[in-house]
Amino acid sequence: MAGKHAYGTFRRRRQISDVEAAFNLSNNSAAKDSSSSARKEIQLSNQANVGLIVAKKSSDKPLDRREADFFEKFQRKWENPQYPYCLFLCYDKGSRDQRTVPVLVQDPEDEKRIYIDLSRTWYGKYGWWSRYVPFYGLISLDEVEFRFLREQDNDYSVIIQELDLFKVKEELKHDLEIAEGVVGHTEDPSYPIPCYEDAADGHWIHDPKCLAPSGALTCGYHKRQDCERRRDRLELRSLLLLCFEDPGKAVDQRTLEGMANGGCIYRVSEIGNYQFHRSRVAERTFRGLMIRTGWKLKRLDTSTVALMIVMLWKVTGGSWEAAFAAGAFYIMLVNLSPMVRK
């Protein structure tokens, strides 16, 4: 009984204390303001927590993760330890549809192997049957620059920019004139041996008066030789197509180091370095090879064209006599007219 009485007394005292506290709080304005402020803080804290929970639920990704960009995805897709390099083969798929496809490269110096892989990649896409269509086939393989747009149908949609060969020649001519001027100022008749390159290892041996070794000036002889070699390579651009058609001709030609432009072989693991912070995909320029196909009628000789005329005449319902007469008439025109001959 004593225990129950004590417990009941304790409960009544607690109730009385709560009533007194409530009465005092209602009559104490400072306490009322403090209590109201505390309740507001608790409500704001609860609202913030609820907002954070909703934000976490609405986000499918952790806050410290981001989606891989275009070039990171490119690297992940094409990186191969056995084939660490790549070359871009560009082509027109439609009137307003330009594409490029990466061709993996194992050894950048083995250009014969690279051209074989280029041929296999191209005909694998275009169709091997196209090699056997009469008077139709590859007409050019040129160096170009391009910009990525997006991945599309296992290829990449791109914007292709043709090289301005006139501009390249003018810049080369300007550089050559500067080099000639430097050589004219540094030549010494009393020391007739100029700076020259050791063909064995490519090391340059300079005139004692040449300022190039000190870094104060570019060697005029070195610059002039580079310009002359670049000028000569401009006249050898047809080598690209010849090597594509016959990869054996690519041995020791180093055509992929650049004929009118810089080299077009890239290390796949470094593709992502060719961008700025938050750069646009199309902001960076890459180099590649542009392949074109078409009819080769301009390369046909007179007899071949005459034979085509004979066959077409016969197929359309004419007699053999009339068909051969038409072919003979064409040959006569070619032989008699300089305008047609051209």
Helix (H, G, I), strand (E, B) or coil at 99: strand
> Whole-number mean pLDDT of the chain?
78
Q: Would you state the structure tokens that stand for residue 321, as one six-digit string?
A: 């006599």
Whether 94 shows a pLDDT value over 70: the answer reads: yes
Domain boundaries of the chain, sorted by first residue: 2-58, 70-163+261-296, 173-234, 300-341
Q: With the C-alpha atoms ordered 79, 81, 87, 89, is the resulting torsion angle positive or negative? A: negative
Q: Which of 34-38, 54-58, 231-235 has the lowest mean pLDDT?
A: 54-58
pTM beyond 0.95? no
Q: Are 291 and 270 in contact (CB under 8 A)?
A: no
Tens of pLDDT, residue by residue over 194-246, are 888 988 888 888 877 777 776 657 788 889 999 999 999 999 999 999 999 99
Mean pLDDT of 22-49: 48
pLDDT average, residue stretch 138-155: 93
What is d(CA 87, CA 244) in angstroms, rounded to the nearest whole number? Answer: 14
In angstroms, rounded to a whole number, what is the distance separating the alpha carbons of residues 110 and 122? 19
